[in-house]
Structure 1
Amino acid sequence: MNSQILVLEKETTSIDTTPLILLHGLFGSLSNWQKVESEFSAHRKVLVPELPVYDRSLRSSKLDKLVTFLEQYIERQDLDKVVLVGNSLGGHLAQLYTLRHPGKVKKLVLVGSSGLYENSFGGTFPRVKDFSYIRERVAYTFFKKEHATDVLVQKVFQTLQIPAKASSIITLARAAQTENMAEYLSHIKIPVLLLWGVQDEITPIEVAHHFHRLLPNATLRLINECGHVPMVEQPEQFNQYLRVFLEG
């Protein structure tokens, strides 16, 4: 009887409860993580901070301000170790934080991450008044174009009509394209999961393979019929791969 109790206690305490921090991209919303949050919040703390991508001060300090924000956020939450899950620009931020604080990140998940190459708004972005162009760029994010709803396109368009917000977005988009991480990735020794949509046109799968070659301890999982935000387009497959990685 006693040995059975000990076995049960051992199995119970083996569940990993390291908090998850989910980091959205430049135009990502907190709702993008809804199905991930609901899937994993039963056994661990899941946090979805809203990144200050419209902060006017970002225009001078670029990505550093976002790293500082994440440092302060994690400190306020009084977290010892975390798992960072970052999509697009959020993945870039996760890499920078991990390099600065390697002892605080247990595992890292990069989802269509910038840091090596990104075909985003940064290059031809001045066409902010062109509604059809904005619609095209929003649709470019998805394999399933029905995700580029009128509501989403209108929201992005309206955001870009505010000069201060448009300026901050342009600065961050260009920083994500120019601040290349290639020479630093070998210093990230922790386990890394690369989750990528096969049809991602913003960070194509060649970028995922490049990350895979440069990171010492990386696992690559590709999701078919999926673009730049797999947690939105293929949430079941996304969660399955993430669960295996977290429990491994």
Structure 2
Amino acid sequence: MPTIQQDGNFTFIDEGQGETLLLLHGLFGALSNWEGVLNEYKQNYRVVIPMMPIYTMPVKKAGLESLTDFIESFVAYKQLTDLTLLGNSLGGHLALLYTLRQQQNVKRLILTGSSGLFESSMGGSYPKRGSYAYIKERVEYTFYRPETATKELVDEVFEITNSIKKCLSIVAIAKSAQRHNMATEITKIHVPTLLIWGLNDTITPPSVGHEFQRLLPNAQLRFIDQCGHAPMMEHPEKFNTIVNEFLAQPSVLA
């Protein structure tokens, strides 16, 4: 298990040495979502994963702008430069927003199941408190293979949705993300970008991946079959293979 560090206002994982990979999790995400990526890359890269304050920020501030401010302050605090930003779902959305603010500090982007153009929030509804069966079904809906939603993962989400305060934050951030369509802004992002999409993603369907590819000036799109909204969790080996190919490209390394 990786060591979770606490430093100032930040909780994070920081392992390995070399070029920095900054990993951003989604709305119901946790540091554990990136286990397969962390284990693969900590040998040759510095892998940094901040725990975003999705459930701890004041509800009035809960939204994309505050979360982007958080990432900006975390990067400055850790003095991270020449970033490869890797974001899943809401984390992809935030990676794009950070890049628009600090493009000179981003070497490349890797987005998987990113929001920012279209998403079906929690399968079209907000979380219901107190119903374990409902939460289990919603978490399973994230994946192509329901068994990817382990009991540990379902328990984690159930605990989050059982808190009224956390629920209010989730709803506020989800609404903020759905309101904020980035179609006109992302045409300004010129860093090499890899899009990895599950062919069976029901939350940000494959058409969203195609739309990102069309709008981002320097993007390539790869699909993983029999895969839902979190490819790095459902098919970690295939995901890492695609990432490795991207990192090895001369145009990306330049």
Of 114-123 and 204-213, the range deviating more from structure 2:
114-123
Instruction: Give 1:166's aligned amino acid.
Output: C
Instruction: Give 2:138's aligned amino acid.
Output: R
User: Residue 213 of structure 2 aligns with which residue?
Assistant: 212
User: Residue 135 of structure 1 aligns with which residue?
Assistant: 136
User: Residue 87 of structure 2 aligns with which residue?
Assistant: 86
User: Residue 236 of structure 1 aligns with which residue?
Assistant: 237
Q: Is residue 40 from structure 1 mapped to residue 48 from structure 2 by the alignment?
A: no
1:43 CA drift (Å) = 1.6
Instruction: Give 1:186's aligned amino acid.
Output: T
1:81 CA drift (Å) = 1.4
Q: Is residue 178 from structure 1 mapped to residue 179 from structure 2 by the alignment?
A: yes
Instruction: Give 1:101's aligned amino acid.
Output: Q
Distance 1:21 1:182, change over 3 A: same
Separation of aligned partners in 2, 1:122 and 1:144: 16
CA radius of gyration, larger in: 1
SS of the residue corresponding to residue 48 of structure 1 reads strand
Higher strand content, 1 or 2: 2
User: Residue 98 of structure 1 aligns with which residue?
Assistant: 99
**TM norm structure 1:** 0.89
Instruction: Give 1:170's aligned amino acid.
Output: V
1:217 CA drift (Å) = 0.4
Instruction: Give 2:115's aligned amino acid.
Output: S
User: Residue 10 of structure 1 aligns with which residue?
Assistant: none
SS of the residue corresponding to residue 52 of structure 1 reads coil
Of 80-89 and 153-162, the range deviating more from structure 2:
153-162
Question: Do the aligned partners of 2:62 and 2:169 also contact (CA within 8 Å) in 1?
Answer: no
Of 101-110 and 158-167, the range deviating more from structure 2:
158-167
Separation of aligned partners in 2, 1:58 and 1:195: 32
1:131 CA drift (Å) = 2.7
Distance 1:133 1:244, change over 3 A: same
Separation of aligned partners in 2, 1:58 and 1:238: 34
After superposition, where does 1:1-248 map in structure 2 within 5 Å? 17-60=18-61, 62-121=63-122, 124-125=125-126, 127-248=128-249
1:149 CA drift (Å) = 2.4
Task: Provide structure 2 residue ranges, at least 5 long, that are not aligned to the other structure.
Answer: 1-16, 250-254
1:233 CA drift (Å) = 0.8
Separation of aligned partners in 2, 1:188 and 1:22: 19
**TM norm structure 2:** 0.87
The CA RMSD measured in Å over matched residues stands at 1.6
SS of the residue corresponding to residue 20 of structure 1 reads strand
User: Residue 13 of structure 1 aligns with which residue?
Assistant: none
User: Residue 6 of structure 1 aligns with which residue?
Assistant: none
Of 87-96 and 114-123, the range deviating more from structure 2:
114-123
1:69 CA drift (Å) = 0.9
Deviations 1:108-135 (A, max 9, x none): 0111000001111395215223332212
Instruction: Give 2:224's aligned amino acid.
Output: I
Question: Do the aligned partners of 2:199 and 2:226 also contact (CA within 8 Å) in 1?
Answer: yes
Identity between Structure 1 and Structure 2 (%): 47
Deviations 1:48-84 (A, max 9, x none): 1111111232533511111111111111111221010
Distance 1:152 1:117, change over 3 A: same
